[in-house]
Amino acid sequence: MVAVQSSSGGDAIDVIVVGAGNAALCAALSAAEAGARVLVLERAPEAARGGNSAFTGGAFRVAYDGVEDIRRLVPDLGAEEEARSDFGSYTADQFFDDLIGMSNLRADPELVDTVVGGSLQTLLWMRGQGVRFIPIHGRQSFLVDGRHRFWGGLTVEVSGGGAGLVAALFARAERAGVRIAYEHKMSELLMEGGRVCGVVAHHQGERLELRAGAVVLAAGGYHANHEWRARYLGPNWDLARVRGSRYNTGVALQAALAQGARAGGHWSGCHSVFYDANAPEFGDPALLNQQKNYFNLGIVVNTRGERFVDEGENFRNYTYSRMGAAMLQQPGARGWQIFEAQGAALLPDEYRVRHATRYQADTLPALIAQLEGVDAVRLHQTIAAFNAAVDRSRPFNPAELDGRRTQGLAVDKSNWALPLEQGPFVAYEVGCGITCTYGGLAITPRAEVLDEEGRVMPGLYAAGEMVGGLYYGKYPGGAGLTSGAVFGRIAGAQAAARTSASRNT
């Protein structure tokens, strides 16, 4: 841990970055690259550093035109691996349409265009910072006719997942001379002459006034704040388990709003997933893979024994982020994902961890008998009706929207409908896990924070989950890390330029 002193002493600071996840570290590296003296304030202790980014799978959504762009991102891609992989393309237009469409046209098009247009170059820049990208063979592809077919617009991830991402960024930041102060909780913005000139932070009971030429806020949303969740998201959201960092409680948001920053985005919306029913209250890096996101390969039922979502509406990384909310509305806010043998064989590692709340049996009656609290009679009826409604004339293909659906049910399944007939059968008990919140600060495409009158707040920038205006209702998987990196890089460069200009005047 570096020594940090109040404004009355210590080395001069050009840029303060609040937070220490993907967006914050990209901001710090970008500012340092431009010659700024950078201090990162991390609320967590060093052992729990990295914010929500450390809890992710490390997937990045990026616009690319073909395998040539993938080779640029993955320079160690072997000829054999390339030959057995169908990377296809994911164009800028597709990326833009996904972000805009999934927001029901509410997302700020200028911010979306910034993310999309900067995605590939930002990832290439990150590769230059020591981040290693690899194809997502395990989680985002299926073997079809001997080749890995990628689906859902996701192709690359960071080697080592979220933990590998933050480890690489921290290592490069430290080599770049970025100072990192752990267990420093920012609480206020310092203002002088109408501009932001630093922050107030607390460390081991001491209040510190830290001054700088510019401040970048990248400390996440309020998903770990029970009271704010109930206030903004609604009843029972205080009961959701926290998938990621316990330190994202909205303190930095509150500090910015208190100085007149404009709230932006969907404050009553969040990213929430099906989550293991017996997961701890807060995310634990030693117990990752609590989410259960491959519900599209089976069915999901509540304690009444009824299905309540279309599990096959779209690829799971286009629908998974609102499944936690759907589960929270069910009796007891819990239920089960049920798979037959073919679907279960395709489940990834998040279903195979020891701490999963898992049940298995060779027959459906034996499986259902293990599900405590379910209406067994109704569940048998639900499964029988589902099996009878499957259109078996369409072949099952998990790598595309295969149109293998049910017909005539109260809630039909639109794709990947496998009748539950072939054992062994497996069930996973799930509840609601919240990942992040969608409400944040209004910013410009240059990552400048706006005030309530729509004017730029001089010296203040934001990136990552603190940015409002990108997500409304639904979220395409992998977009969060990409947008965090894009705006983090922009924020750091803008903050450094501002401090450089100030020194030269």
Instruction: Tell me what the mean pLDDT of segment 166-191 comes to.
Output: 98
Do β-strands 15-18 and 38-42 pair in parallel, antiparallel, or remain unpaired? parallel
Residue type (1 letter), 334? R
What domains can be seen in the chain, in order of their start residue? 15-221+442-503 (3.50.50.60), 272-432 (3.90.700.10)
pLDDT band at 5 (very low <50, low <70, confident <90, very high): low
For residue 505, pLDDT over 60 is answered with no
Pairwise pLDDT comparison (74 vs 284), residue with the higher score: 74
Give per-residue pLDDT as tens, 464-491: 999 999 999 889 999 999 999 999 999 9
Q: What pTM value is reported for the model?
A: 0.93
For residue 10, pLDDT over 70 is answered with no
Average pLDDT, the chain: 94
- In the sheet where 185-192 sits, what is the strand order? 185-192, 195-203, 206-211
Give per-residue pLDDT as tens, 225-271: 999 999 999 999 999 999 999 999 999 999 999 999 999 999 999 99
Q: Looking at residue 406, what is its pLDDT? A: 98
Three-class SS of 368-408: HCCCCCCCHHHHHHHHHHHHHHECCCCCCCCCCCCCCCECC
Distance linking the first and last C-alpha atoms of the chain: 33
For residue 191, pLDDT over 60 is answered with yes
For residue 413, pLDDT over 50 is answered with yes
Q: Looking at residue 145, what is its pLDDT? A: 83
Q: Looking at residue 7, what is its pLDDT? A: 47
Q: Looking at residue 9, what is its pLDDT? A: 45
The CA distance from 78 to 1, in Å, is: 40
DSSP string, 407-450: -SSSS---S----TTSS-EEEEEEEEEEEEEEEEE-B-TT-EEE
Q: Among 462, 29, 112, which residue's Cα sits nearest to residue 253?
A: 462
For residue 2, pLDDT over 70 is answered with no
The CA distance from 210 to 204, in Å, is: 15
The CA distance from 239 to 272, in Å, is: 12
Q: Looking at residue 502, what is its pLDDT? A: 64
